[in-house]
Amino acid sequence: MATSAPESPPTTDAGRHGDGGRDLWWHLLFAVMLVGTLITFTSWATGQIDSHHAVLVVTILFGLFMAFNIGGNDVANSFGTSVGAGTLSMKQALMVAAVFEVGGAVLAGGEVTETVRSGIVDLDGMALAPMDFAFIMMSALLGAAVWLLVATQMGWPVSTTHSIVGGIVGAAVTLGLVTGEGGWEMVQWGEIGQIVISWFLSPLLGGVIAYLLFGLIKRGILQYNEAADERLRRIKTERIEHRARHKEAFERLSELQQISYTNAMARDAVVVSADGDFDRDELETDYYRELYRIQDQRDDVAAHKALETWVPLLAAFGAIVITAMLLFKGLKNLHLTDGVADNLIVLAMVGAAVWVAVFIFAKNLKQQSLARSTFVLFSWMQVFTACAFAFSHGSNDIANAVGPFAAVFDVLKTEQIGEEAAVPAPLMLASGVALVAGLWFIGRKVITTVGSGLTQMHPASGFAAELSAAGVVMTASLLGLPVSSTHILIGAVLGVGLVNRAANWNLMKPIALAWVITVPAAAVVGAGGVLVLRAVFG
């Protein structure tokens, strides 16, 4: 059942982009950081290359523009559930992204990247001059960045990988047709078919897993808590009625009876305060007997049982999934472990440690209300999931901006096309800064779409969506399935919405259309870009 969602998350500042002077200093801070990064990196890069400085400057502009738009779309998509659930404010999400996205890029992003020489298009089949290859990569960056900007402004989360693929296809095919060295036969149509499959496979897998996971969480924890809360409210009402009833009965007694009953009440109070493990038969007054009968009902509710039993297990499972994603995807370039046995030992240790920590945490929340305890526990778990997702994204998907950027830099430096290109640390750092700036300046619309537009988020549902997406991304990477992390997360959000019967299918229609036109839209811009670049610099 489709439902209309609020225009912006009610508990976040995602939509307060033009809120007077409140964010002025933040705007200035990120503007200065972005301009300073551009000037500093350009100064460093021109010192590394002896010629083609004009081409280098244009490449830097295109590359940072691409990273800026990845921040506004892809990173915003990753943090949309956390901001929408009220777990993180926009500024907190920004800080998390700054640390973990840039940290992932610099620490685990890899020292080399493939130059896409024979991936989506077969460039080996044509006599390709080094500068023409550079123009293809520059046009791919421009085509992908322009389409990402359009999609971001519309609030559509789209795949940056598919965008860069479209830019490369458009630029390479156009160059082949212009030079007579190739044409449509250069395109690896099997790879395009994989992209088409991912339109359906990615959201389906994310949706199914999230539907199952959040369904279990809702039935095993949330609905149990709701029933326990309802029983506690009835017991509280019974206590209030009990007190009022005995007060009225006391007032109807004679003065001597009131004195006698007061003395009996005082003796019962002494018995109760002197020994917590007293015999109920020692109580003289109906007031205390009935009061402790009501208290027994409250103890029988076991209100925090689900939180203490299932949440630690869920957290341990989530920690294992997230750690596996980091080992097999986010930290794979660092080669931290050797062999399956080492990985399994690490996963077991992390799972056990998280189970103990969350169990103790849940026990210490017993004095809090159920609603508050549930919010706090799932908020913590969602934050850790978001941090791990950000680190993995920074170490892998930032290659969409860095890969073509590094390829052009390598061509300008060596004047030849290599199979791999070195990725300088300053390039990773500059891309990371641009990425975080993009999240701040243009990421709010995508965050609103993911966080509240498709369905309303709660920390429990946001955690389920993020964990499901992480698990599918990791499994698909190991199995080599053609999936998109963006599409998987959107499917997971819809899966959560289906459980709550609150999925906004009307909003999903333009998003699905945007997925379909991502490759051709980026290809058109890439095709025009390569013609202009050859005309200006060729």
Per-residue pLDDT at 113: 52
CA contacts within 13 A on the Cβ side of 32? 6
User: What is the spatial distance between Cα 435 and Cα 445, in angstroms, rounded to a whole number?
Assistant: 16
In this prediction, residues 164-177 reach a mean pLDDT of 92
Phi, psi of 113 (to 5 degrees): -140, 145
pLDDT at 4 over 60: no
In this prediction, residues 469-495 reach a mean pLDDT of 86
Greater pLDDT, 185 or 136: 136
Coil/strand/helix, residue 114: strand
Percentages helix, strand, coil for the chain (3-state, rounded to 5) are: 80, 0, 20
pLDDT tens figures, 323-367 = 887 787 666 666 666 777 888 899 999 999 999 999 999 999 988
Res. 275 pLDDT band, cuts 50 70 90: low
User: What is the spatial distance between Cα 312 and Cα 362, in angstroms, rounded to a whole number?
Assistant: 8
pLDDT tens figures, 74-109 = 888 888 999 999 898 888 888 888 888 777 777 766
8 A C-beta contact, residue 149 and residue 69 = yes
Per-residue pLDDT at 301: 79
Res. 368 pLDDT band, cuts 50 70 90: confident
pTM of the predicted model as reported, rounded to 2 decimal places: 0.84
User: What is the spatial distance between Cα 263 and Cα 436, in angstroms, rounded to a whole number?
Assistant: 70
Per-residue pLDDT at 528: 97
DSSP string, 173-197: HHHHHHHTS--GGGB-HHHHHHHHH
Residue carrying structure tokens 């920004």 = 94
User: What is the spatial distance between Cα 148 and Cα 72, in angstroms, rounded to a whole number?
Assistant: 8
Q: What residues does each domain of the chain span?
A: 229-300
Per-residue pLDDT at 125: 64
3-state secondary structure 117-173: CCCCECHHHCCCCHHHHHHHHHHHHHHHHHHHHHHHHHCCCCCHHHHHHHHHHHHHH
8 A C-beta contact, residue 390 and residue 97 = yes
Greater pLDDT, 293 or 443: 443
Greater pLDDT, 114 or 208: 208
User: Within 10 Å of residue 280's Cβ, how many Cβ atoms?
Assistant: 11
At residue 322's C-alpha, the angle toward residues 316 and 328, to 5°, is: 130
